[in-house]
A and B are shown apart, each in its own frame.
Chain A
């Protein structure tokens, strides 16, 4: 019922927004083209129809967006289906943002994207592009594909931005010198959530995890964070379900019985944590538990790098730009892809070059910083190239808080209270470079 309601609201907004935005866009376009050529001395360029060669002294900076074809279980809620352009839309917005700056500096950014493909095909495409001198790859792939891609590109002047995988092993024992992570790690996400629960003094948790490997990784990360910030997990349970059995006529009658009885004999707790990354059962828990307690984790109150309702730190215009361009709200993958492409743009702006080697070097240096609507500069951790970032602790509608929480102090930056800190790192790729 509430889902249907939400969908109607969303649809209604979508109908009205484009009309208004079209009008605005037409107004801008007509004003731009009717007025004098303001940037005549700078030779503005369109990014689509140019080769990599320099034209009119304009430096072309091509970026590839690659994604892997994956079989995913359909989520419980119709609202959770992924849009086809998830991630790509964010990268495209960043290309636009880079080009607005680029026209003042005679830099032109261009994105080459391919349809989702298999690991082997993806690596073949990437290698061809690297062979042609393309140096920047933004990817949404599984951890194993990321590692294979990293190995395939290791002898090129190329850097890979991991926008999609939260797996900690990619930042730890499987870290790679040519990989940067704009997606937060699971450890960062669960630390962000657990810090907030600690701040609330909701110290007693029960943990309900799903059977999928990613659910188990999230659950393990919750256990690690709980230990780190002094919260107790009173009981740790697995929730078994028939994968893909989301659709049935009715269904709620049984769920309404099933969840209270599943949670009936739990010890008295403050918060029930669900670990359900594939969105198969977690949304069954809020409002159905035996005792009236909040649900958090992958559903309920959840940690996220981006929230479509955030207007904090000047994000309003950022969200508007995205909606105008893509016709939908911004998702965490879009945001991670945006930060990856903006990192390249920021490095190109500061070094005034498009040379991948120079830009990669600059991004690894302590001079690099990124403004990304999080109220402070974002930097890459020098020990594993993970982008530091404040994280939202949110419900589906709006953010509840932003971690790090007040009082969690750190000698370098409070952002390093989220995720694997330097003393704990198992990453050695960056130490002897």
Chain B
């Protein structure tokens, strides 16, 4: 192989898409998702900090427990916990070379995410029927902002998992390890989204 052809081959190949880089110990996508999640921590961290500051400064503060739909929120908590299990099972099955069960668990994760959004839709509809809007009070402004932003993240997960379940699964035939890594990266994002809810639920619905 001449020098030109060799250089061309190097240009086409993206390094560390499957194997970890020796200096970071991570493959490209995992480094990318952690940088993204770091920015997400700052975003939600700023919102939680604002919430705490507004709440501690307020002379009186409504309790979400008394008027928000706690049973639906509880159901959503269990749905997200279950979806974190299914996404790990999807990744584990793909690592073991089992595409069929991997896709079944991706589909189950997708079903959980959609169920969460449907429940959220019912919850918002109920609040609007009771004439509770973001402009009604500081508490409701924070409630709609934080749960709305979280819901958008769930929607993002739905889009990505739908892609990986249907057209994205073609990669399994050409590059199994890379497809498995993609599921791992999405699983990391999904766990972060679930973790945010684990903090939102008691903060907004109970206390």
- State whether these chains interact: no
| Contacts from B to A (Cβ < 8 Å) | none
| Contacts from A to B (Cβ < 8 Å) | none
